[in-house]
């Protein structure tokens, strides 16, 4: 594969910026929509109308259903509840990256993959970073909020394992069709826990900005993000593209500080350094070893 040029790298950077700033968009929209209703609308518009234009990927229905429920309810439904007053959005963008370590753990459990020593070191750095966050719980970042985001990260990891069982599919079509299965349980949850009266009031009072946030989630974060990232990974070396995902929490914490005035005390920077350091070690070390091994 040829290396990407500046236009391709800028496209990858745009995807990462969208994914990172998405946490601020979630926080702003939650000022007008209850979290489970917000999640329902996100996946409704991610599925409709695109499901009528994209052919169903050649995978089993239960695979699509599992991915839709895990990502729709387990990841985003839970993380919306957490950001709705239990954790600062910038920190949420960092804690949810624990999905990398959960994905490794699930792969070991389900497929007997071996954990390399460097992966244990990376995990230790990530756990230390989460520990720093939990130790500084306050009114804006609570222990329940951290735990909920970890549940979201675990659900994301489980979704990764499900998706890995269908390699080579069109990722945009896969996400669109899987979103159909996220809507019914999210709708049921919002009706039970948020109630028809609150739902009706929220929809009646939704502004253009609120609907723009919903579309940002559906079109920008899901359709543009997954389609562009999948296109890049299919055409350029993963060793060049994948490490850029490490910038997601950087954009998340940066935009939260800029737009929401979320404070960045030293302990947050320390936690970010530990978590991102663990992610970088896990992602980059194998490539470093492969590059220099012939010279040894």
Residue 144 falls inside a structural domain = yes
Q: Within 10 A of 80 (CB to CB), how many other CB atoms are there?
A: 27
- The count of domains in the chain is 1
Q: What value, to the nearest 5°, has the Cα angle with vertex 38 and ends 37 and 39?
A: 90
Segment of 82-86, 169-173, 215-219 carrying the highest mean pLDDT: 82-86
pLDDT of 284 above 80: no
Segment 81-102 shows an average pLDDT of: 90
Please state, in angstroms and rounded to a whole number, the distance separating the CA atoms of residues 183 and 45: 10
The pTM of this model reads 0.87
* Mean predicted lDDT score pLDDT of the chain: 87
User: In terms of residue numbers, what domain contains 271?
Assistant: 6-295
Which of the residue ranges 9-23, 115-129, 175-189, 259-273 has the most confident prediction, judged by mean pLDDT?
A: 175-189
Q: Is the per-residue pLDDT at 296 higher than 60?
A: no
Would you say residue 294 has pLDDT above 90? Answer: no
Is 253 inside any structural domain?
Answer: yes
Hey, how many other C-beta atoms are within 10 angstroms of the C-beta on 117? 8
Tokens of 246: 């490490």
Q: Is the pLDDT higher at 236 or at 290?
A: 236
Q: Which residue's structure tokens are 């052919």?
A: 55
pLDDT on residue 54: 93
Report pLDDT for 1. Answer: 61
**What integer is the mean pLDDT of 15-40?**
93
Asked if the model's pLDDT at residue 230 lies above 90, the reply is no
Domain for residue 1, yes or no? no
Residue 284, in any domain of the structure: yes
Percent share of the chain, pLDDT over 90: 50
* Geometric angle at alpha carbon 152, from 119 and 136, rounded to 5°: 75
pLDDT digits 0-9 by tens, 161-198: 888 787 778 888 999 999 999 999 999 999 999 999 99
Q: Tell the burial category of 295 from Cβ atoms under 10 Å away from its Cβ (0-12, 13-18, 19+).
A: exposed
- What's the whole-number mean pLDDT along residues 90-113? 82
Which of 24-28, 120-124, 137-141 is modeled with the greatest confidence? 24-28
Query: Does 100 reside within a domain?
Result: yes
């Amino acid at each position: 594969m040829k290396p990407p040029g500046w236009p391709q790298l800028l496209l990858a950077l745009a995807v990462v910026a969208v994914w990172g700033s998405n946490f601020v968009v979630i926080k702003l929209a939650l000022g007008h929509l209850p979290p489970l209703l917000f999640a329902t609308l996100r996946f409704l518009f991610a599925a409709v109308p695109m499901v009528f234009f994209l052919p169903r990927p050649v995978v089993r229905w239960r695979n699509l259903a599992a991915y839709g429920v895990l990502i729709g309810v387990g990841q985003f439904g839970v993380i919306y509840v957490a950001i709705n007053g239990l954790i600062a959005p910038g920190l949420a963008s960092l804690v949810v990256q624990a999905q990398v370590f959960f994905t490794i753990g699930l792969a070991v459990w389900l497929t007997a993959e071996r954990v390399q020593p460097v992966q244990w070191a990376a995990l230790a750095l990530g756990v230390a970073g989460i520990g720093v966050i939990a130790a500084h719980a306050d009114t804006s970042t609570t222990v329940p909020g951290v735990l909920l985001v970890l549940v979201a990260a675990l659900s994301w990891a489980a979704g990764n394992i499900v998706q890995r069982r269908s390699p080579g599919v069109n990722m945009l079509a896969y996400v669109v069709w899987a979103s159909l299965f996220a809507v019914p349980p999210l709708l049921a949850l919002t009706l039970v826990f948020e109630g028809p009266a609150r739902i009706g009031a929220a929809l009646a009072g939704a502004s253009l900005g609120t609907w723009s946030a919903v579309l940002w989630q559906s079109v920008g974060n899901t359709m543009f993000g997954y389609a562009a990232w999948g296109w890049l990974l299919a055409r350029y070396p993963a060793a060049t593209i994948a490490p850029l995902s490490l910038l997601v929490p950087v954009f998340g914490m940066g935009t939260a500080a800029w737009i929401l005035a979320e404070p960045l005390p030293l302990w947050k920077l320390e936690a970010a350094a530990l978590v991102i350091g663990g992610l970088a070690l896990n992602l980059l070390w194998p490539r470093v070893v492969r590059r220099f091994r012939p010279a040894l």
